[in-house]
Structure 1
Amino acid sequence: METSIIYVAVTFLLGTLATLVRLPPLVGFLAAGFVVTAAGVEKMPGLDIVAEWGVAMLMFTIGLKLDFRALLRKEAWGTSLPHMVFSTLIGAGFLGLLSLAGSRMLAGAGAGTLVLLGFALSFSSTVFAAKVLEERSEDGSLYGRTALAILVIQDVFAVGFLTGAAEHLPDPKVLLLVGLWPVTVLFRRLWRSVGRGELQVLFGVAVALVPGYWLFTWVGLTGELGALVMGLLLAPSVRAGTLAASLFSIKEILLVGFFVAIGVESDLTGQAVLMGLVLLLLLPAQGLLYVLLQRMFGLRNRTAVLSGVILTTFSEFGLIVAAYAVARGLLEQVWLPALSVAVAGSFVVAAVVNRRGAGLVDRFAEALPVQATGRLMPEDRPVALGDVRAIVLGMGRIGAAAYDQLRHVYGLSAVGVENNLERAAVLQARGVHVLAADATDSEFWQRLHPSHLVEIIVLAMPEHGSNLYALEQVEASEFDGTVAVVARNDDDVREVRSLGIDAVLHLYEGAGESLADRAATYAGIRPIEGQG
């Protein structure tokens, strides 16, 4: 118990300290692992399990949010596969130069060792990228979806390496995994019956860890892959997003254990620390390679840079590959702490770079050659609104009604913006002028070419936070027309009005009167004379 208390206290204090100096808490969590180890504190019981379950829950929630078709897009596999090859060669070449320069750790290292180390360094961190995207609420953006798809493909290749390098054939029990597809139907029925409370949370944990993590481990594959597969199988459900959100806190607390464990597992020596820090010199080449490959497949400079920056880390899967190689005598033990330092150091570097935000990204993007619009992917091209006088963000029932009112009653040319592709397609089929785009995606606002004729912007998205974000973007554009916002409660109304917006509709204001009017109409009751 005392050991656990020490771990929790040190982790909390260093995570808080990292926040105070404007670094992500995970930097403090990494430091906590190194500190408790250096102080001679014994390893906390169960830390490995916490770390493994944290990664499993992360992979499960990624699967819940990821459209499997995203893995088949050319910008995903066309970036992931060449990057792994070129990054492996660059890493092997860099280590070869260090060997020629007299590095003791690389003395006598053959080409196979150099390529294996280069391969371990070619992976980017799924954990880091997913956490940053969630914090920004941009895991649904184009660059976020692309980055996650690239990472999933990399993780699959890591699993392929571990399976292919095994000294025995895969366990025949792996064929049992085929049965997961039909069994998923039963899981969905069970899911519908458990409601939306704590049972849904427990359902998500159980599916991620039992048919996901445990079953895949039992048949000789990695549990992380199993959790990802279970997430992908449940992703088509309309409740997948709700389940992912309900698991957020559990996943976050378990991932703290993962970051602490990286430091705890590192048996640091001066030689290992020095080599780990030297390996960080590979990060710029890794990031630049991501950017160039994604540009080749039609992503805008800024989108490619955003994705490249978030992918410029070394990976926890690289550590798994290295540990596997050490266990089979393919690498010397000293490389594990060196790679642990490199992974932890890459997280710190990436955290600092990503904290710099849009300004740094814009400078990188502007330094790249200008791209012809025709070479860009359709969903990454500039958005032209045309000569419209009104914009409606969010084309649900309220937004669609506002669109119709502005267009048919007030005679304004209008355009709607809707992030649900199916709903947008239905509206377009009805002749409604709708753009399929996400107004909560910062990239949408970067691509937007607004019309100088716009007089009214209506923010009718269902989430208050989404409307606030869009409002910030509208104000940043120095729009001087009228902005109208939908709010669901009094606090939201006050918050919006404090920002200088007067045209605020309380969603339920007048709903009682409307309901009573409708009931009386159907009952054939007329209003009192002088009141109707």
Structure 2
Amino acid sequence: MDSVWLLIALLFGLLAQQVRLPPLVGFLLAGFVLNALGEEGGELLKLASDYGIYLLLFTVGLKLRLKEFADPAIGGGAATHMLLITLLGGGAFLLLAGIGFGLVETGDLASAAVIAFAFSFSSTVFAVKVFDERGESRARHAVIAIGILIIQDVIAVFFLLLAEQKMPSVWALGLLALPLFRPLLLRVLERAGHGEVLVLFGLATIALAAELFDAVGMKPGIGALVFGMLLGGHRKTVELYKALFSFKEFFLLGFFLSIGLGAMPTLDSLIIVAGLLLLLLPVKTFLYFWLLTRFHVRARTAFLSALSLACFSEFGLIVAREGEAAGLISADWMVVMALAVAGSFAVASVLNIRAHELYERLHRVVARFETQECKDNVAPADPGEAEVLVIGMGRVGRGAYRSMRDDYSEKVLGIDADEERVERLRGDLVNVISGDAEDIDFWRQILRPQIRLIMLALPTHDDMLKVASLLQQVGFDGRIGAVSRYQDEQLELINAGVDAAFNYYQEAGAGFADHIMRQMGESRLPEPDRVG
């Protein structure tokens, strides 16, 4: 993997970003281009590919929360969806085999099941990117989608374990003692600091896990997942995850390049990809939505969750590669899978850019799928006697809440989409409720004549523009305040109907000086002592 490879990968990654696709789509295409130029993968590419997968599995372990399995919508939805797609897809592939179509040359049940199983996965990378960009990572629809994806990832790990061609050695039983070493690992993690030593700790842990599991005859990737789970739940887990994120993305470059270098697309493979995008992907997406509503999830929440899952997955590529290694599917299916993943990302990107607008247009149709039990259990949002609403209870929102509370006492209400944050704040006696400010139905329920001011402290500029637009649509006639980072954002907010926009980069200094003077209890600085 020389500099020319990296330049080609960079070029296609940049091109993908320009059309708002994940860079991995560009990396897959770069692999096909390198293949066409006669390039072949080597040991270095294989090493990068392997460690990309190890990093991916390790970060899955870090994020794993066992309590998410207890939510019927997440656990039941994920398992039922994978089962149905595997059955439906497997049946379709067997039918194609029966008529002798192209790549589906045999009627082998195991082969059809592996192919369909690989296509049942949705992309964790894509969904996380969508929610991060929209500032919705802790919204209910994001929690459901990410929970489903984590369960899918765990199921994939079990598949990798079952796909192992050899029995582990008797020494593998010693791995059962690994939890005893968790306190030691956490102690080292705490002492690793916040910089390069933390990154090195993560990489060294992954290497140790891979070598240890490989030595006892188990898949190295399973070791990475297990060690990630051992470190999960600690206060530094999120920091470690963020520190390793860029390394994971870089090493996965090797994996995606290796897919394109493995084989070139044929006419048959392109026809199958088109069929997958036109037939299987819509069925897969609708099935997510329908199943979630059967588990009594609100129609809007189910709709937004389903759109974020409307793609095939990089984990499906890993499953397909294992199927190829086991001789269950041909290398041509790896090409089909890679093209289908890339194409599904393009489709899902278009859908998710306008996800909230699509819901507004389709909400009457979407609402018909909501169960009566769900409607009965959803309590209408109630602001009580609040005259001031603070939307977004992060650091800026909490500061605004405390400041307004000094003037308005009990008539200030905080609102946040993160239910866990809401519970923590209630424990601190903060007057706060859970609510999604980008849901027009929420505003129709909560707005009352006495509400005079709404302060927007949401994570992204686009979120605040969207909420300002919704407030105009529902006819809110009070004042709207918002925060911004740049002058052009201030102007956009004012043009969107915001009455006052606070630039916290420009005005933080003034706020700092005012805070210090109030803490000192003085309106002016004391005269300095004269020397001499």
Q: TM-score, normalised by structure 2?
A: 0.81
1:321-341 CA deviation, whole Å, 9 max, x = no partner? 333333334334443333333
The one-character-per-residue Cα deviations of 1:119-165 (angstroms, maximum 9, x if unpaired) are 23222233333343344443333222222222222222233233334
Within a 5 Å distance, the mapping from 1:124-203 to structure 2 comes to: 124-203=122-201
Gaps in structure 2 of 5+ consecutive residues = none
Question: Does 2:263 align with 1:270?
Answer: no
Q: 1:173 to 1:35 in 2, by over 3 A?
A: same
> Out of 451, 454, 471, which is 2:447 matched to?
451
Shift of 1:182: 3.1
Residues 116 and 418 of structure 1: is their aligned pair in 2 closer, same or farther, counting only changes over 3 Å? closer
Shift of 1:180: 3.1
Deviation at 1:74, TM superposition (A): 1.0
| Aligned pairs for 1:77-156 within 5 A | 77-156=75-154
Q: Following the alignment from structure 2 to structure 1, what is the Cα–Cα distance between the partners of residues 488 and 19? A: 32
Distance 2:295 2:232 in 1: 26
Counterpart position of 2:402: 401
Superposed displacement of residue 377, structure 1: 10
The letter for the 1-side match of 2:233 is P
Equivalent pair of 1:159/1:221 in contact (CA under 8 Å): no
Check 1:398–1:23 CA distance in 2 against 1; reply closer, same or farther (3 A cut): closer
Q: CA deviation at 1:296?
A: 1.0
TM-score using structure 1 length: 0.81
SS at match of 2:103: helix
**In structure 1, C-alpha distance between the alignment counterparts of 2:3 and 2:141, rounded to whole Å:** 40
More displaced 10-residue stretch of structure 1: 211-220 or 140-149: 211-220
Contact 1:55 1:127 in 2 (8 A): no
Residue 357 (structure 2) pairs with residue 351 (structure 1)? no
Q: Which residue of 1 aligns with 2:307?
A: 309
Indicate the residue corresponding to 2:514 in structure 1: 510
| 8 Å contact from structure 2 (residues 296, 373) kept in 1 | no
- Show the 5 A alignment for 1:280-291: 280=277, 281-291=279-289
SS in structure 2 at match of 1:351 = helix
Q: Per-residue CA shift, 1:263-312, capped at 9, x if unaligned?
A: 22234433334334433331111111111111111222222222222223
Unaligned 5+ runs, structure 1:
none
Identical-residue share of aligned pairs (%) = 34
The one-letter amino acid of 2:69's match is L
The question of 1:251 aligning with 2:252 is answered no
Any idea what SS the aligned residue of 1:466 has?
coil
Compute the RMSD of aligned alpha carbons.
3.7
Asked if structure 1 preserves the Cα contact closer than 8 Å seen for 2:293 and 2:371, the reply is no
Distance 2:134 2:430 in 1: 31
**Gap change, CA 1:211 and 1:399, over 3 Å in 2:** farther
Equivalent residue, structure 1, for 2:370: 371
Paired with 1:510 and 1:166, the residues of 2 have a C-alpha distance of: 64
Write the distance in 2 (CA, Å) between the matches of 1:365 and 1:359: 10
Q: Residues 198-213 of structure 1 correspond to what in structure 2 (within 5 A)? A: 198-207=196-205, 209-213=206-210
What is the SS of the residue equivalent to 2:389? strand
Deviations 1:459-509, CA, capped at 9 Å, x for gaps? 5x6xxx72746643442222543345678xxx6699658844547474413
Change (3 A) 1:173 1:482: farther
Instruction: State the alpha-carbon separation in 2 of the partners of residues 118 and 433 from structure 1.
Output: 49
Inter-partner Cα distance in structure 1 for 2:359 and 2:216: 44
Q: 1:334 to 1:446 in 2, by over 3 A?
A: same
SS of 2:521 mapped into structure 1: helix
Q: How many pairs were matched up?
A: 507
Q: Choose from 462, 465, 473 the match for 1:472.
A: 465
Counterpart of 1:237 (choices 231, 234, 237) is 234
The more displaced of 219-228 and 294-303 is: 219-228
CA deviation string 1:229-264 (max 9, x = no partner):
444443322333333333333333333333333322
